[in-house]
Amino acid sequence: MTSFLRLLGLACALGTGSALNPGASTGTSTATTLGSSDLTVGASCACKKLSTSYPKQYISPTSPNYNEQATHYWDARADLSPACIFMPTDADQVAAAVKVFVQCDAQFAVRGVDLTPIVQIPGSNNIDGGVLLALNEMTKYKVNKDTIEVQPGMTWYDVYSALDPYGRTAIGGRLKTIGVPGLTLIGGVSYYINKHGFAMDNVASYDIVLGNGTLTTASATANPDLFWALKGGASNYGIVTKFTLKTYAMPHISTTVQIFNETSTPAFSQAICDWAVGNSDSPVAAGSVITMTYNTTTKQMSSSLLGVQAGISNPPSEFRNFTAIPGVMKTHNVTTGKQWASNLDTPMNMFRVMFSHHTMIPDADVFTTMIETWKKAVKDIADVKGLNPTFVANISPASAARVSKTNGIGNVWDLEDEALIWWQLSTGWELAQDDLRVQSWARQLTEHLHELNKHNGLARDFVYMGDAGEWQDIFAGLKPANVQRMKEIRDVYDPKGTFSRLNWGGFKLGY
């Protein structure tokens, strides 16, 4: 299975993450001085207070486990050097830490689980010279009849394992190491997307520490405005210390792994578009990871499908159009969500990785042309050491958008009732010296392909935070009225801007 992942190239589109948003400290509408003091002064004040009050939860740069915690990231670009690391074990300690950050005017970053970025962008979940609040010790959970309460230090594999004895699952990440908080706060693509929508649509309640250190709850009945805003609002509102997730009976899943060579690209593109649009009002719950990989040694491209659906129909019927295409390799299995996820590991610090993406409505011919253009463009950076270029297709069927339209809650995306392909470049490489080169290549190509789609009337503005590049403006792709409402809610729950100015990493709403 490790080779699948090589092949997937980290198709992780899985989206987890945080982003760099350096402009967030200007143009304030509330009188405040947050984030105005010297980085080192604020951090040393906060580190001192935390080390005195919570010596067991505190890690300094000279502690033996500092390096392990500071470099526990999937993307090597996230390895930064925080002034200290604080690892709370419960919500009260998270609240206390936030109060300290405000008192000391200390900049901080928040990390959910070790491996996974909430957003695949440097600076989103680690910080140079500030305080890293690492939640990975918060791994308690409680299984209820049709929900599970989970703390933010859990990976989705932990969640699937906890639910496995009950034959149930939650709507979460597609690879083993993705964490609950990042994926859930940014939206979240799952293997059951066509029936249950996004991870955020399946959260019944959030416990959250606000910018003044108050612990509160957001649900359909408690702070319902905040509840809505947390469904896609990412790191703009607070630190979630508990997610109550809906669960669904899922004793068995039917899985397929299929690999195709380059000759099959047009047929593969057609199957992708069929899968995107071929949804019904009562679909069999299903989802996929779809990746094109260019091998810089053989100069050949291959395509892969990981398909999963609820039940035991084998091979999984939702993917029949892929199954019908002759392929290099096909493996079907009926198994459990836990067993399937256990194979989909992502190594830490494997390489530097960068995502970038845009959205289109399905068109197989255009999609094939885009893949061919990408393959040609890869030649321009073929000499980059350790290059691992992949082109990923995340499918957002109309039925996924309908979940939030009919559940009485909604989400900040408010997507139209239409099938979408979120196409994405996921590019891996080895050396820091190539960072700017790879970024400029990916940016130019991504925006070029999007422009062509605009001319063809196929482009949509929506940008998924989990697949975005650091230059992309996530909120510009949402309806202006929704963004306005998100900002108003932020101003109510975080009037001083703790999560805009002291915690500036990740995609921030701005002004």
Ligand X SMILES: *[C@@H]1O[C@H](CO)[C@@H](O)[C@H](O)[C@H]1NC(C)=O
Cβ atoms < 10 Å from Cβ of 339:
13
Q: Which two tokens stand for residue 412?
A: 């900040």
CA atoms within 13 A on the CB side of 153: 15
Q: Which is nearer to ligand X, 335 or 439 (CB)?
A: 335
Segment contacting ligand X (CB under 6 A): 201-209, 328-336, 375-383, 437-445? 328-336
Q: Which is nearer to ligand X, 129 or 495 (CB)?
A: 495
Between the alpha carbon of residue 313 and those of residues 129, 164, 191, 343, 360, the distances in Å are 53, 20, 16, 21, 31
**Binder to ligand X among 65, 280, 295, 484 (CB under 6 A)?**
295
CB of 145 to ligand X, least distance (A): 25
CB of 265 to ligand X, least distance (A): 10
326 burial type by CB count under 10 A (0-12 exposed, 13-18 middle, 19+ buried)? exposed
Segment contacting ligand X (CB under 6 A): 77-85, 95-103, 167-175, 293-301? 293-301
- Strands (E) located in 125-277: 131-134, 141-143, 147-150, 168-170, 203-209, 215-219, 239-249, 253-261
CB of 83 to ligand X, least distance (A): 26
CB of 481 to ligand X, least distance (A): 23
Residue 261 binding ligand X, by CB under 6 A: yes
CB of 212 to ligand X, least distance (A): 4
**Binder to ligand X among 74, 86, 101, 493 (CB under 6 A)?**
493
Residue 333 binding ligand X, by CB under 6 A: yes
Per-residue contact flags (x/-) with ligand X for residues 219 to 258, judged by CB under 6 A? ----------------------------------------
* CA–CA separation, 230 and 218 (whole Å): 8
CB of 480 to ligand X, least distance (A): 24
Residues 334-373 touching ligand X, rule: CB under 6 A, are 335-336, 339
Residue 52 binding ligand X, by CB under 6 A: no
Closest CA to 292 of 282, 305, 283: 305
Alpha helices in 105-214 (DSSP H): 156-163, 180-186, 193-196
Q: Which is nearer to ligand X, 68 or 383 (CB)?
A: 383
Question: How many angstroms from the chain centroid is the CA of residue 75?
Answer: 13
* Backbone phi, psi, residue 360, to 5°: -145, 160
**Binder to ligand X among 131, 209, 210, 310 (CB under 6 A)?**
210
308: enclosing H helix or E strand = strand 300-310
Can you spell out the DSSP letters for 381-409? Answer: GTTSTT-EEEEEEEEE-HHHHHHHHHSSS
Task: Judge contact between 175 and 126, C-beta under 8 A.
Answer: no
Residue 6 binding ligand X, by CB under 6 A: yes
Binding residues for ligand X, rule CB under 6 A, total 24
List contacts with ligand X (CB under 6 A): 6, 210, 212, 214, 261, 263, 274-275, 278, 295, 297-298, 318, 320-321, 326, 333, 335-336, 339, 388, 492-493, 495
